[in-house]
Structure 1
Amino acid sequence: MEIKDNVLRSFKVARTYCVNSDKVNCVDYSPNGENAVSSSDDDSIVLYDIQQGRPNGNLYSMKYGVDLIRFTYGDTNTVVYSSNKQDDTIRYLSLTTNTFLRYFPGHTARVTALSMSPVEDIFISSSLDETIRIWDLRLPTCQGLTNTIGRPVCSFDPDGLIFAAGVESRAVNLYDLRAFDKGPFSCFETRLNRVCDWTGLKFSKDGRHILICTNGGAIRILNSFTGSVLHTFSGYNNSKGVSLEACFTPDSQFVMIGSEDGRVHVWSVESGMKVAVLDGKHPGPISALQFNPQYMTFASACTSMMFWLPCVDDL
């Protein structure tokens, strides 16, 4: 099924799970789309089987907490995650044995972003300590570091050759992974005319656009080659400065964001027009939102986790 305006408008909640006692702070799909994992402020990690449409296990990180979580490259049984309690070490965890495979110490303040390479066992992290670090899952020490002189967020491009760094909520720097120590090869200044912080960067799957997520009432799409602003999307509720996650659909044609009132807003990347507002009756702000990379479903979460499917009867 092709993702079109009418398909997006037909989406309805197919499953709701209330397994968390606090906010779900992150959701990630495995690259094959068959599993999802969530992390929560209640220190739990929940694995979901997408084919069966149900939770498939709970793990806990009571000592360290869990803040950001990502499946590793090519493996649905391992994740890396950042902590929000004892320290700022990143941990590499086996979901099948519930054992740590490696620790990645180095950051000295909260990790603001984790991005896994789509082509190899490498990931990058950014932190409030004003650094971006490059890691190899097979090695215990940091493989590269760049100082950003400001609060950073970061993300790999779809080819794993370039990563973007959003710095101090005002500029996007592009780095060549193979020559990151030479500094950014391109820099785009793009201030939002609003009082807000950038909370994330995301490349579209086709690599043509960069999405800037914020804790304010607007998100922005840039041309990833020129840095020109394509669209600024607003008109969703976020009066309390919540970090609301936005995402592209896998075809790169639409952008979605949750809102403070629990609804999901969808815009066309090409036209900039809003094409849908979906109400799943979330009891709180949607703090995590991800579209499945392989299947026609997406997940949204507050304290509850909801999985959405298109309703054929509405098409």
Structure 2
Amino acid sequence: MFIDEMKLTENVVRNFRVAKIFRENTDKITSIDFSSNGETLISSSDDDSIVIYDCQGGTPKRTLNSKKYGVDLIRYTHAVNTALHSSTKVDDTIRYLSLHDNKYIRYFPGHTKKVVCLNMSPINDTFLSGSLDKTIRLWDLRSQNCQGQMHLPGRPVATFDPEGLIFAAGINSECVKLYDLRSFDRGPFATFKLPQDKDCDWTGMKFSPDGKLIVVSTNGQVIRLIDAFQGTPLQTFVIPCRKKEVDNDPFESSYTRMAKNYVEGGHTNTKGIPLEVSFSPDSQFVFSGSTDGRVHCWNTESGAKVATMSCDHPGPVQCVGFNPKFMMLATACTNMAFWLPYIDE
């Protein structure tokens, strides 16, 4: 059976194993993005490199460097030979890159602080960006001029719905507003207020592939799942959290000692890192990285923990993505890992 012909079930998720580990980077991988056909994966890193992987062959395909401007938040456009990325050096301009010859097609200036979210429309050349300058901007690949702008009271997060007709904006880590792209300047058509997380900020937001759910990721210990139509809170995902080592009795058993240093509850994010959260293509599961190098999965309907997946990630797993076409998961810290379901013949 080919892996893309399997049905994703809880048992299949529990049988995911690391099939390949890549050590192409010398510093943290900061973002990943699958092509729409699932055949390639692109990544950005703090070492100023862009690496393209062949998902079917399981090999690195090409490495490009962006030493002058740095690179972050790499995103494929609708042409697999072009990508958008934010900058980490010189200024906060967004750059439109030809992957074929490693030349820039267009620049999108305007943001005055670090760009923290960048999303392509699923249907056309429109894209969204959000920055620590407290603005969300709407762009078109064909013009360097901003098509629309929102001023916010705090750090923004924003994302398109799967049909590309609306977008969601997270405001001040407590409110989700939905906008119709055709009447963007008229304000939101729906506003959902959520309990504010005092100890963390919202750092990411994604619609489920079926458009029914929105997941909100943070730089703290919670992941929230809400209904995309009513804004109703559905699930709050938490995972086991290792706490700091405590003084141990030298005569107690190793099992007791381990139990004392392990506490159920908070999300394993002890370093305030914006950890990526991703849906499976069928919207049935949510995957998240953690600072202890593991990957965690929950069922979106029941909220139950499905699996805790261990890997040879030496650092925090900041990037997690599920291939849109094939039964394959990708996770990254400094290393990149490709996961496939293990099938016992």
Q: Distance in 2 between matches of 1:192 and 1:306?
A: 34
User: What secondary structure does 1:8 align onto?
Assistant: helix
User: What secondary structure does 1:55 align onto?
Assistant: strand
Deviation by residue 1:89-134 (Cα, 9 ceiling, x = unmatched): 0000011110001000111111110110001111111111111111
Q: TM-score, normalised by structure 2?
A: 0.89
Question: In the alignment, what sits opposite 1:295?
Answer: 326
Question: In the alignment, what sits opposite 2:187?
Answer: 183
Asked if structure 1 preserves the Cα contact closer than 8 Å seen for 2:208 and 2:279, the reply is yes
Q: Considering only aligned residues, what root-mean-square deviation do their CA atoms show, in Å?
A: 1.0
Question: In the alignment, what sits opposite 2:205?
Answer: 201
Q: Is 33-42 or 230-239 further displaced after alignment?
A: 230-239
Deviation by residue 1:212-254 (Cα, 9 ceiling, x = unmatched): 0101111000001111100000124111211111111000000
Q: Distance in 1 between matches of 2:185 and 2:114?
A: 23
Q: Distance in 1 between matches of 2:85 and 2:207?
A: 21
Question: In the alignment, what sits opposite 1:214?
Answer: 218
User: What secondary structure does 1:103 align onto?
Assistant: strand
Question: In the alignment, what sits opposite 2:146?
Answer: 142
Q: Distance in 1 between matches of 2:174 and 2:67?
A: 35
Map residues 121-160 of structure 1 onto 2, 5 A cutoff: 121-160=125-164
Q: Distance in 2 between matches of 1:312 and 1:102?
A: 46
1:64 matched to 2:69? The reply is yes
Deviation by residue 1:246-298 (Cα, 9 ceiling, x = unmatched): 11100000001011111111000111100111111211100111000010001
Question: In the alignment, what sits opposite 1:255?
Answer: 286
Q: For residue 317 of structure 2, what is the amino acid of its counterpart?
A: I
1:226 matched to 2:257? The reply is no
Question: In the alignment, what sits opposite 2:165?
Answer: 161
Please list every run of 5 or more consecutive structure 1 residues that lacks an aligned counterpart in the other structure.
none
Q: Distance in 2 between matches of 1:195 and 1:20?
A: 32
Question: In the alignment, what sits opposite 2:297?
Answer: 266
1:38 matched to 2:69? The reply is no
Quote the offset at 1:193 in angstroms.
Answer: 4.1
Question: In the alignment, what sits opposite 1:19?
Answer: 24
Q: For residue 164 of structure 2, what is the amino acid of its counterpart?
A: G
Asked if structure 2 preserves the Cα contact closer than 8 Å seen for 1:194 and 1:216, the reply is no
How high is the sequence identity, in percent, across the aligned residues?
A: 56
Please list every run of 5 or more consecutive structure 2 residues that lacks an aligned counterpart in the other structure.
1-5, 240-266
Q: Distance in 2 between matches of 1:243 and 1:124?
A: 19
- Runs of 4+ in structure 1 over 6 Å off: none
Q: For residue 275 of structure 2, what is the amino acid of its counterpart?
A: L
Q: Distance in 2 between matches of 1:104 and 1:304?
A: 30
Question: In the alignment, what sits opposite 2:340?
Answer: 309
Q: For residue 215 of structure 2, what is the amino acid of its counterpart?
A: L
Question: In the alignment, what sits opposite 2:58?
Answer: 53
Q: Distance in 2 between matches of 1:281 and 1:263?
A: 9
Q: Which has the larger radius of gyration?
A: 2
Q: Distance in 1 between matches of 2:342 and 2:196?
A: 36
Asked if structure 2 preserves the Cα contact closer than 8 Å seen for 1:198 and 1:214, the reply is yes
Q: Distance in 2 between matches of 1:297 and 1:33?
A: 9
**Number of matched residues?**
313
Q: For residue 287 of structure 1, what is the amino acid of its counterpart?
A: Q
Q: Distance in 2 between matches of 1:65 and 1:296?
A: 32
Q: Distance in 1 between matches of 2:312 and 2:55?
A: 21
Q: Distance in 2 between matches of 1:138 and 1:289?
A: 30
Q: Distance in 1 between matches of 2:202 and 2:89?
A: 23
Q: For residue 245 of structure 1, what is the amino acid of its counterpart?
A: E
Question: In the alignment, what sits opposite 2:99?
Answer: 95
Question: In the alignment, what sits opposite 2:309?
Answer: 278
Match of 1:243 among 265, 274, 294: 274
Q: Distance in 2 between matches of 1:130 and 1:179?
A: 21
Q: Distance in 1 between matches of 2:208 and 2:153?
A: 26
Q: Is 301-310 or 238-247 further displaced after alignment?
A: 238-247
Q: For residue 54 of structure 2, what is the amino acid of its counterpart?
A: D
Quote the offset at 1:194 in angstroms.
Answer: 4.5
